[in-house]
Amino acid sequence: MEKTRIPSQPLKKIALSCSGGGYRATSFHLGTMSYLNKLQFQGKPLLENVEMLSTVSGGTITGVVYALLKKDKRNFGEIFNFLLDKLETLDLVKTGIEKLNPDQDLKNPDKTKNLINAFAEEYDAHFTNGKVMQDLAGIGSSHLKEVVFNSTEFKNAINFRFKNPDTSGYAGNFRARISKKQLQEIKLSDVMAASSCFPAGFEPMLWPDDFVHEDAVNLKILKDKNNAQAISPIGIMDGGIYDNQGIESILNYQKDNELPYFDLVIISDVASPSIKAYKPLEKKDKTGFRQFTLKGLREKFAAICKRINYIFSGLLLFLLLLPFSWSYSNNIGTGFCLGLSVMVLLLILSKFLLLRQIKKTESYLTGKITEVIPPFYQEKIKALKIEELSVHRLEPLLINRLRSLGTLLLNVFLKVVRSLNYNRLYDDNRYEYRRISTLIKDLTRKDLRKKETKTDENQPRQATVNPGFLSGNYDSVVGKNIEKVVDEASGFGTTLWFTDQQKVGKLLEKLVAAGQLTMCYNMIRYLEKLIFTPENGFSDLTIDVQTDIRKLYKDCKEDWLHFKQDPAFLYNQGRRNQH
C-alpha cells in the first residue's frame, strides 16, 4: 500500500467546522478563528485560507455573524468585538421568554408563538438585523467560497443544510430540496434558530411555515394550502442531532475527486467524547410518603371528601335550622344564616364540579397515553397492579427509565453519532496530513493524558511525532495558568446565557482564550507531524513552502510560551485594539 503523503500546498485550502454547544461553542469557536487570524502565513492571516465554513447549533451563531460581517467587508477585529459585546450583554432566555407573555405578540404573525421563534426574533434584532440568505450571495469575493449552516429535519431524519445561495448544488437535502429562490428569502436569524434548536430546550421549527415572513413571496407559496406547490410542514431541529461537528458537509464537498479538495480540515469541537456512566436511583427506605400506594391515596382522598361532605352537610343543616329558634323572623340573624347557607351550598357545588373535572381530565390523559401504547402491550400491562405499588416501588421504575432515556439521547446516541462522523475523517488515509481536531477538553489534565497514551477509543487520533517542544509532564508542557482556564471553560454547560457570577468570573474571556490556546497547541502538533515525520513528502515541497511552514511553526511555539504565561493575552489584545 502506497504511503500517504502531505499535500503539495499544505494549509492553502482549509475547511473549518464549528460544533454545537450553546454559548460555550459560540465563544470557543470565536477563539479558534481568532488564533487562525493571528497566525500569518505567506503574507496574510491563516484564517483567510479558510474556504469553507460548516457550523452547527451554537457554532452557527459564530458562523452566521462572521460570514455576514465578512461579506460587509468588516475586519476581524470588528467581528470579534461585535460578537463578544452581544455575548456579554444579551440574556436571550429572559427576552425570549418575555415574548411568550399573553400581552405580547411576535413581530412576525406567520410564526407559531413558541420559544424557538421568540429566539429567532431576538437573533434578528441583535445579530442579523433583518438580513436574509441572499445577503450572503457573492461571499465568494472574500476568502469564503462555501458556508453551510446545519440542522436536522424530522421527516427523513437526515441533515438539512442552509448554504450561501450562489453555491453549487442544492440546499435542504435530496428529499426536501430548497430552491434558490426560496433559499434567498430565508432570514439568517431563522437559520440560526433552526440550527441551534436543541431538543428539550425548544420545540421544533416548522419548514416552511415558521420561515415565512412579509417579503418571502416564494416561501408563502410553499405554505399556501390552496397552491399546488404547497408542502406539508416538516419539523426542523438542532443540527447536532445528526452531525454535531458539521463534518459531513465538508467531506461531501467535491467528494468524487480522487484526492480531498481541502488541504486541511480543522474541527473545532466543544463536545466531550467521553460518556457519563448510567447511574440508577439510590435505594430509599420505605418511609414517609414512599409508603403510599395509588390505591391508598385514592382511598384517603375519598375518605377526606366523605368527611368534608359530612361537615358541609351538617353545617348547611345547622344554618337552615338555627333560624327556627326565633321563628325565622326577619332580622340580621336570619339573613346571616341564610347567606352562609348559600355560601356552603356553593362550596358543595364547586367541590362536585371540581371532582367531576378531575375525573374527566384523568380519563382524557389516560386515553391519550393509551393511544400511543400498542394493544399488545396494553394487554400485558394489565397484569401489573399499578394501583397497589407503593411510591417506594414506582419511583425507581419511573426515574431509572427517564435517566436511561437521558443517557441514551444525550450521551450514547449523540456520542456514537459523533464517533461515526469523526471516523469518516480519521479512518480515511487520504486525510492523514489534512486534519486537525481542536477539542475544548484537549488540554485538561485528564484528557491530555488520554491523548498521549491513546487509551480513549473515542478520542480522534493525533500526531505521534514529537521532537521535544511539547514533551514532558503536564505541568511543564501546559502549566497551572492554562489548566485553570481550560478546566473552567470545559466545565461550562450548554446554555445561551452567562450568569452574573460567570460574568464576574470572566467565563466568556476564558472560553475564548481556551479556543485560542487549544488551537495553538493542536497547530503545533500538526506542524510537527508535517515537518518531522520521515518520508512523508515534506522534503519534496518547494523551499519557499518549507520555509513558510517552519516560520509558522516557530511563531506557534512562541505563542504557546506566551499563553503559558498569560492565557488571555490574545483575548485582551483583541479587546484593546478595538476599544
Q: DSSP per residue over 39-99, as a string? A: -EETTEEGGGGEEEEEEETHHHHHHHHHHHHHHTT--HHHHHHHHHHHHHH--HHHHHHHT
pTM, whole model, 2 decimals? 0.81
Looking at residue 478, what is its pLDDT?
A: 95
257's grid cell: 475527486
Q: What is the pLDDT along the chain (579 residues), one digit of tens a residue?
A: 456 889 999 999 999 999 988 889 999 999 999 999 999 999 999 999 999 999 999 999 999 999 999 999 999 999 999 999 999 888 888 888 888 898 888 999 889 999 999 999 999 999 999 999 999 999 988 999 999 999 999 898 889 999 999 877 789 999 999 999 999 999 999 999 999 988 777 899 999 999 999 999 999 999 988 888 889 999 999 888 888 889 999 999 888 888 899 999 999 999 765 555 656 767 777 777 677 787 888 888 888 888 988 998 998 899 888 888 888 888 888 889 889 999 989 988 998 898 889 888 878 877 777 777 778 767 777 777 777 777 767 777 777 766 666 655 556 556 666 677 788 888 899 999 999 999 999 999 988 876 665 543 444 444 445 567 888 899 999 999 999 999 999 988 777 777 777 776 799 999 999 999 999 999 999 999 999 999 999 999 999 999 999 999 999 999 999 999 999 999 999 987 665
Evaluate whether 162 touches 149 at the Cβ level (below 8 Å).
yes
- DSSP string of 525-568, one letter each residue: HHHHHHHHSTTSSGGGS-HHHHHHHHHHHHHHHHHHHHHHH-TT
Q: Virtual CA dihedral for 183, 270, 237, 262, nearest 10 degrees?
A: 40
Looking at residue 285, what is its pLDDT?
A: 74
What's the length of the chain?
579
Residue 110 to residues 146, 196, 212, 223: CA-CA distances in angstroms? 30, 20, 6, 10
Looking at residue 1, what is its pLDDT?
A: 42
CA 579 – CA 148 distance, rounded (Å): 32
CA 89 – CA 497 distance, rounded (Å): 9
